[in-house]
C-alpha cells in the first residue's frame, strides 16, 4: 500500500483525496520548516499519516505540544542517536540499559493518560487550579515575612536570565558585576551584624545555624578540647532546632535544649546558640550570657533578623562569635517557604573556618581594583575531604536580590521600613494591653505573643480564619502575631477585632482607637539600651541609586 493510500484510508468520510494530499503537504512543510529541516513530504506522511487524516488543525495542535519545546531532541533525532548506538529505538536502548527488575511496566497509552497540552493550555489549566486556592494573609513569622519586591528588581534581576541563571560562582573573576553584587550583600550583612567576615550566602536559616555549630565544633578540635555538648536556646524557631538536632546526630554532637535564663556555661560545652529577637518576638540583652560564655571559652552563635538589626544593637557589639539568619525579608517573596538566602558572619580570626564563598577586593595586573573569591584553599575542589567550605551551599540570585534591595532603599529607606513595622506592632500591642491582654514580652521589634487560655485561643483561631488571617498558635494557648512590610493600619485594627472578639471595637471603639493611635513611629517601644546608635551602610553604593532610573543604570552596568 502506498503512502498516499494510507493517508486516504485514514481520512474522514466525505473528504476528497486531493484535498487531503494538499493539506498533508502543507502541514509537512509547516512542521519541517519550523524544525529547520528539508521538506520531505513522503517521510512526513509515513510518520504522521494516521494523524494527518484528521486534518491540518490536528497536526498544528500536535506540533504545539509543550514537550516539543521542553524536550530538546525531536523524535527523528532520538531515532538517529539510538541507531548510532546500534538500537532501533529509544525503547530498545532503555530495555538494554535497565535491568528488568527496575523497569516501570506501566500503561502509558493515551487512553490511560490525558493528552499532552500546549504551553498556553497548560498555563490556563494551572491558573484555573491556582484560582481555586484559598489565599490567606500569613502573620505566623518564625523567620518568614511578607515583603515588597521593588518592581525594578523584579523585572531586571529576578526575571532577567543574565542574573537568574546564576547558582554559585565557578569561574567568578570573568563576571566582575556579579561579584560586585555579592560584595554588596556581604557589606550589608557585615554592617548590620557588626562582624567583619561574611560569606556569599548559605541555603537557609536552619542549615546556616547547623553550619555554625559544626564550625564551632571544628574550632574546638583545633584547640584540642574534648567538650562535646552544644547548647541550643529553647526560644529558637522550632524548625531551626530540628535541623540542628538532625545535623548533630550525624556528626556525634550532643544537643542540650533549654532556657537561656537557666543556662550555666561550663567546660562541657563547646558552643551555644541563641535567637535575637527570639521566636516569641522578645528582645533581650546578650551582654551577660555572651560574657559568661567567653569566660569558659564557649563559642557563641546568634540567629538574628537583618531588618530588626536596622534598629537593634548588632550581635558584634555584644561580642558574639558567629551571627546567622535569613535575608528573605529583604525583597525576596515568601515562595511557599523558600528558597531564601541565608547569611553567616563571623570574627576575623575565624575567617579560614567559615563555610561558603568569600568575595574580596584585590588588584589586577595593571593595578586597578578587581574582585575575586578569597581563601579558596578552604574549598572542596582544593582541600577535598578536609575542606571547610562547600561551594554549592549558596543562593546567589537571592543573595543578590537582598543586597540590591538595600542598595535601592539605602540606609534611610531601610530605617523607615523598620520603624513603620515596629510602630504598627507597638500600636497593636498597646491596644491589646489597654483591653486587658497579657503580652509575653514588652520588648519586641515586630512580633508579639499574647497569653490566652486554650478556649480563648480557639475563639481567636475561628475569628482569624473568618478574617483570612494565619496566626501562630502555641500548645499552651498563646497566640503569636508577626507584622511585616505589607502590614497596614487597617490590618492592625482587624487584628484587634480578631483578638478581642469585637466587630468594630465594641463599646471600646473610641478608647482603643485613641490609645492605639497615640504612638507615633518615632517613639519606639524598645528600651534605649537595645537600640543601635552607630551609622549603617555608609558605603557609597548604598547612598546613590534610590530612583528607578539610577538603579536601573547601575544594574545594567553590572
Encode pLDDT of 456-476 as tens digits.
999 999 999 999 999 999 999
Please, are residues 153 and 331 in contact by the beta-carbon 8 Å criterion?
yes
Q: Tell me what the mean pLDDT of segment 234-241 comes to.
A: 98
Q: According to the model, what pLDDT value does residue 522 have?
A: 45
Which region holds residue 537: left if phi is over 0, alpha if psi is between -120 and 50, else beta? left
Residue 53: strand, helix, or coil: coil
Work out the angle between the directed axes of helices 396-434 and 176-193 (0-180°, nearest 10): 30
Give the DSSP letter string of 366-403. Answer: TS-EEEEEE-GGGBHHHHGGG-SB-TTS--HHHHHHHH
- In this prediction, residue 405 carries a pLDDT of 99
Q: Provide the CB-side half-sphere exposure for 292 (13 A, CA).
A: 13
Q: How many CB atoms lie within 10 A of CB 288?
A: 11
| Segment 172-202, tens digit of pLDDT | 777 899 999 999 999 999 999 999 999 999 9
Give the H/E segment covering residue 516.
helix 509-516
CA 458 centroid distance within chain: 31
Measuring CA to CA, which residue among 505, 401, 480, 447 is closest to residue 159? 401
Q: Which domains does the chain have, with CATH numbers?
A: 3-102 (no CATH), 162-406 (3.40.640.10)
The rounded mean pLDDT for the chain is 85
Instruction: Name which of 58-62, 357-361, 449-453, 512-516 the model is least confident about.
Output: 512-516
Lowest-confidence region among 199-203, 276-280, 300-304: 199-203
What span, in angstroms and rounded, lies between the C-alpha atoms of 441 and 481?
13
- Give 259's pLDDT tier (boundaries 50, 70, 90): very high
User: How confident is the model over 123-182, as pLDDT tens digits?
Assistant: 999 999 999 998 899 999 999 999 999 999 999 999 998 888 766 556 677 789 999 999
Task: Count Cβ atoms within 10 A of the Cβ of residue 139 and give its class: 0-12 exposed, 13-18 middle, 19 or more buried.
Answer: buried
Question: What does the pLDDT read at residue 376?
Answer: 72
State the pLDDT at residue 168. Answer: 59
The Cβ-side half-sphere exposure at 197, using a 13 Å CA radius, reads 18
Lowest mean pLDDT among 307-316, 470-479, 504-513: 504-513
What's the pLDDT score for residue 291?
A: 97
- The answer to whether the beta carbons of residues 220 and 253 sit under 8 Å apart is no
Residue-level pLDDT at 226: 86
452 contacts 481 by C-beta, under 8 angstroms: no
CB 267 within 8 Å of CB 293 = no
- Tell whether the model's pLDDT for residue 59 goes beyond 80: no
Q: What is the mean pLDDT of residues 516-539?
A: 73
**Does 192 or 111 have the greater pLDDT score?**
192
Chain centroid offset of residue 194 CA: 24
CA–CA gap between residue 499 and residue 435 (Å, rounded): 10
Coil, helix or strand for 492? helix
Per-residue burial over 354-370, b if 16 or more Cβ lie within 10 Å, else e, is bbbbbbeeeeeeeeeee
What would the mean pLDDT of 95-114 be, rounded to a whole number?
Answer: 80
Question: 150: number of CA atoms within 13 Å, CB side?
Answer: 21
495-499, Cβ contacts within 8 angstroms, sequence gap of 24 or more: 495/139, 495/428, 495/469, 496/428, 496/431, 496/432, 496/435, 497/463, 497/467, 498/460, 498/463, 498/464, 498/467, 498/469, 498/471, 499/432, 499/437, 499/450, 499/460
Closest among 306, 352, 350, 309 to 326, alpha carbons compared? 306
Provide the percentage of residues in the chain whose pLDDT is more than 70.
79
Instruction: Bin 309: left if φ > 0, else alpha if -120 < ψ < 50, else beta.
Output: alpha
Q: What's the pLDDT at 389?
A: 64
Q: Which residue has the cell 553590572?
A: 558
End-to-end CA distance of the chain: 64
227 vs 215, 254, 268, 269, 301, CA distance in Å? 14, 10, 5, 5, 16
C-beta separation of 240 from 205 below 8 A: yes
Report how far residue 214's alpha carbon sits from residue 225's, in angstroms, rounded to the nearest whole number: 14
Buried b or exposed e, range 444-456, using 16+ CB within 10 angstroms: bbbbbbbebeeeb
- Give which of 402, 406, 371, 372 is closest to 202, Cα–Cα: 402
Determine contact, residues 355/210, Cβ cutoff 8 Å: no
User: Residue 529 pLDDT > 60, yes or no?
Assistant: yes
Distance CA 457, CA 477 (A): 5
Question: What confidence category does residue 115 fall into, taking pLDDT thresholds of 50, 70 and 90?
Answer: confident
pTM as predicted: 0.81
Q: Rounded to whole angstroms, what are the CA distances from 176 to 173, 371, 513?
A: 6, 6, 53
Amino acid at each position: 500500500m502506498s503512502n498516499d493510500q494510507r493517508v486516504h484510508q485514514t481520512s474522514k468520510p466525505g473528504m476528497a483525496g486531493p484535498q487531503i494530499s494538499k493539506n498533508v503537504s502543507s502541514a509537512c512543510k509547516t512542521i519541517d520548516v519550523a524544525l529547520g529541516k528539508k521538506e520531505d513530504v513522503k517521510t512526513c506522511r509515513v510518520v504522521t499519516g494516521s494523524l494527518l487524516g484528521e486534518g491540518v488543525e490536528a497536526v498544528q495542535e500536535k506540533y504545539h505540544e509543550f514537550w516539543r519545546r521542553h524536550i530538546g531532541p525531536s523524535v527523528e533525532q532520538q531515532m538517529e542517536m539510538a541507531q548510532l548506538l546500534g538500537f532501533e529505538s529509544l525503547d530498545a536502548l532503555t530495555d538494554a540499559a535497565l535491568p528488568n527488575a527496575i523497569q516501570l511496566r506501566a500503561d502509558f497509552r493515551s487512553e490511560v493518560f490525558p493528552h499532552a497540552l500546549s504551553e498556553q493550555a497548560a498555563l490556563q489549566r494551572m491558573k484555573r487550579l491556582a484560582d481555586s486556592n484559598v489565599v490567606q494573609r500569613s502573620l505566623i513569622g518564625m523567620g518568614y515575612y511578607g515583603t515588597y519586591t521593588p518592581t525594578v528588581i523584579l523585572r531586571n534581576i529576578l526575571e532577567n536570565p543574565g542574573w537568574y541563571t546564576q547558582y554559585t560562582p565557578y569561574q567568578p573573576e570573568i563576571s566582575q558585576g556579579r561579584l560586585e553584587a555579592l560584595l554588596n550583600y556581604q557589606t550589608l550583612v557585615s554592617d548590620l551584624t557588626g562582624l567583619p567576615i561574611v560569606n556569599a550566602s548559605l541555603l537557609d536559616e536552619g542549615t546556616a545555624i547547623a553550619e555554625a555549630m559544626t564550625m564551632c565544633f571544628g574550632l574546638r578540635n583545633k584547640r584540642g578540647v574534648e567538650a562535646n555538648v552544644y547548647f541550643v536556646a529553647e526560644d529558637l524557631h522550632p524548625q531551626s532546632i530540628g535541623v540542628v538536632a538532625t545535623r548533630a546526630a550525624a556528626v556525634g554532637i550532643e544537643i542540650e535544649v533549654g532556657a537561656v535564663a537557666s543556662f550555666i556555661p561550663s567546660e562541657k560545652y563547646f558552643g551555644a546558640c541563641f535567637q535575637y529577637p527570639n521566636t516569641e518576638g522578645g528582645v533581650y540583652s546578650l551582654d551577660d550570657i555572651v560574657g559568661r560564655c567567653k569566660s569558659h571559652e564557649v563559642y557563641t552563635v546568634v540567629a538574628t533578623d537583618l531588618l530588626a538589626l536596622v534598629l537593634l544593637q548588632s550581635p558584634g557589639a555584644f561580642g558574639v562569635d558567629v551571627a546567622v539568619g535569613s535575608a528573605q525579608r529583604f525583597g525576596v517573596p515568601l515562595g511557599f517557604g523558600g528558597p531564601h538566602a541565608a547569611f553567616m558572619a563571623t570574627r576575623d580570626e575565624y575567617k579560614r573556618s567559615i563555610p561558603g564563598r568569600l568575595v574580596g577586593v584585590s588588584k589586577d595586573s595593571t593595578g586597578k581594583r578587581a574582585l575575586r573569591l578569597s581563601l579558596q584553599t578552604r574549598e572542596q575542589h582544593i582541600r577535598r575531604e578536609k575542606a571547610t567550605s562547600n561551594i554549592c551551599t549558596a543562593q546567589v540570585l537571592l543573595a543578590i536580590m537582598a543586597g540590591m534591595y538595600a542598595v535601592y532603599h539605602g540606609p534611610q529607606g531601610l530605617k523607615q521600613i523598620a520603624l513603620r513595622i515596629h510602630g504598627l506592632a507597638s500600636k497593636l500591642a498597646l491596644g491589646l494591653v489597654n483591653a486587658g491582654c497579657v503580652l509575653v514580652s514588652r520588648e519586641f521589634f515586630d512580633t508579639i505573643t499574647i497569653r490566652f487560655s486554650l478556649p480563648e485561643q480557639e475563639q481567636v483561631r475561628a475569628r482569624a480564619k473568618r478574617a483570612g488571617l494565619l496566626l501562630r498558635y502555641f500548645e499552651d494557648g498563646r497566640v503569636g502575631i508577626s507584622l511585616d512590610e505589607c502590614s497596614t493600619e487597617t490590618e492592625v485594627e482587624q487584628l484587634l477585632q480578631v483578638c478581642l472578639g469585637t466587630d468594630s471595637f465594641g463599646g471600646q471603639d473610641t478608647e482603643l482607637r485613641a490609645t492605639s493611635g497615640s504612638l507615633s513611629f518615632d517613639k519606639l517601644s524598645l528600651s534605649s539600651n537595645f537600640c543601635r546608635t552607630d551609622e549603617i551602610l555608609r558605603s557609597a553604593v548604598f547612598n546613590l541609586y534610590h530612583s528607578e532610573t539610577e538603579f536601573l543604570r547601575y544594574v545594567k552596568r553590572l
